[in-house]
């Protein structure tokens, strides 16, 4: 499914359901609204093992937007917070690798040299979190923590092995004579889930701002995938603003 269709569905859902949520007969414990934010991070090994000695990193433009809901619990100033979002997670890196596996020209090989990697992952994401006030006073400052579940609607993982790098494969060892592309997009997994937690500040009765950390527990490649080993996991900081009706 094309990203443009996904965005259109989210916008239409927000437009047609917002008047329903605003009606007075809706349960008083529920509130609904919209959220806009962005993600800052990368897909990294779970324990940061086998990181390149030298690398440069750019997180790119990673927007996130969609619908939010909140159900107030009987406990004072506590609620269940949930969202339905389109979210992008992506980054670009250039690194010097040593004996790193790559699949080039239909051959699994070990590469030493300079490589570039571009990751672009687009998800429909559902975070479900517990929200509670930090202090006994109603100061509008809350902690939120829970899980997120995401389905990838479009994604790519590709890059370039640069000229001068050394390749070792079953035929021997040789230098790369020209920039050589690689692409593992078809091997990406569609489902991701993990933990998400952070701080939220209410501004008046309708607006909130928040900063959170989202850490995936499911690798972006299948378990046991030998080309990208260790597997990579989505680790992102999230900054956003919410408007509640």
pLDDT in tens, 26-58: 457 899 999 999 999 999 998 888 788 788 989
| Domains identified in the chain and CATH numbers | 3-244 (2.40.160.20)
Q: Any idea what the Cα angle at residue 100 is, between residues 99 and 102, rounded to 5°? A: 125
Q: 180-221: per-residue pLDDT in tens?
A: 999 999 999 999 999 999 999 999 989 999 999 999 999 999
- Size of the chain in residues: 245
Whether the pLDDT of residue 22 is over 70: the answer is no
Name the band, by pLDDT with cuts 50, 70 and 90, for residue 154: very high
> What percent of the chain is predicted at pLDDT more than 90?
69
pLDDT at position 52 is 80
C-alpha separations of 105 from 108, 109, 183, 229 in Å: 8, 10, 10, 19
* Rounded mean pLDDT, 232-242: 97
Alpha-carbon span 189 to 227, nearest angstrom = 14
pLDDT confidence of residue 77: 84
**Mean pLDDT computed over every residue of the chain:** 89
The verdict on pTM exceeding 0.75 is yes
Q: 56 vs 65, which has greater pLDDT?
A: 65
Share of the chain above pLDDT 70, in %: 89
The CA distance from 165 to 142, in Å, is 50
Contact 63, 88 (CB under 8 A): yes
139-152 average pLDDT score: 96
Joined tokens for residue 148: 């997120």
3-state secondary structure of 226: coil
According to the model, what pLDDT value does residue 21 have?
45
Lowest mean pLDDT among 14-23, 100-109, 219-228: 14-23
Give the per-residue pLDDT at 60.
Answer: 84
Record the tokens describing residue 221, joined without a space: 């490649």
pLDDT of residue 15: 47
CA distances from 160 to 5, 10, 45, 109 (A): 30, 34, 20, 14
pLDDT at 23: 47
Report the pLDDT value the prediction gives residue 4, as an integer from 0 to 100. 57
Encode pLDDT of 81-126 as tens digits: 999 999 999 999 999 999 999 998 788 999 999 999 999 999 999 9
* Contact of 140 with 203, CB cutoff 8 Å: yes
* Residue 9: band (very low, low, confident or very high) from pLDDT cuts 50, 70, 90: low
Report the candidate in 180, 185, 178 with the shortest Cα–Cα distance to residue 158: 185
CA-CA distance, 54 to 96, in Å (whole number)? 6
What lies within 8 Å, CB to CB, of 126 at 6+ separation is: 82, 83, 84, 85, 148, 149, 150
């Amino acid at each position: 499914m094309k990203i443009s269709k996904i965005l259109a569905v989210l916008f239409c859902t927000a437009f047609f359901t917002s008047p329903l949520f605003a009606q007075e007969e809706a349960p008083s414990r529920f509130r609904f609204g919209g959220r806009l934010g962005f993600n800052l991070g990368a897909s990294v090994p779970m324990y940061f093992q086998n990181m390149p000695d030298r690398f440069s990193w750019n997180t790119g433009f990673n927007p996130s937007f969609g619908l939010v809901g909140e159900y107030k619990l009987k406990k004072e100033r506590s609620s269940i917070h949930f969202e339905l979002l389109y979210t992008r997670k992506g980054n670009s890196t250039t690194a010097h690798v040593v004996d790193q596996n790559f699949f080039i020209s239909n051959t699994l090989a070990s590469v030493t040299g300079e490589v570039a990697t571009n990751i672009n992952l687009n998800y429909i994401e559902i975070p479900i979190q517990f929200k509670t006030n930090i202090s006994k006073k109603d100061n509008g400052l809350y902690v939120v923590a829970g899980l997120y579940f995401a389905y990838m609607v479009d994604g790519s993982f590709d890059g370039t092995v640069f000229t001068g790098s050394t390749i070792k494969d079953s035929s021997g060892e040789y230098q790369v004579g020209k920039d050589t592309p690689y692409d593992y997009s078809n091997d990406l997994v569609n489902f991701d889930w993990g933990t998400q937690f952070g701080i939220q500040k209410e501004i008046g009765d309708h607006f909130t701002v928040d900063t959170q950390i989202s850490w995936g527990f499911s690798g972006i490649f299948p378990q046991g995938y030998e080309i990208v080993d260790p597997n990579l996991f989505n680790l992102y900081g999230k900054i956003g603003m919410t408007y509640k009706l």
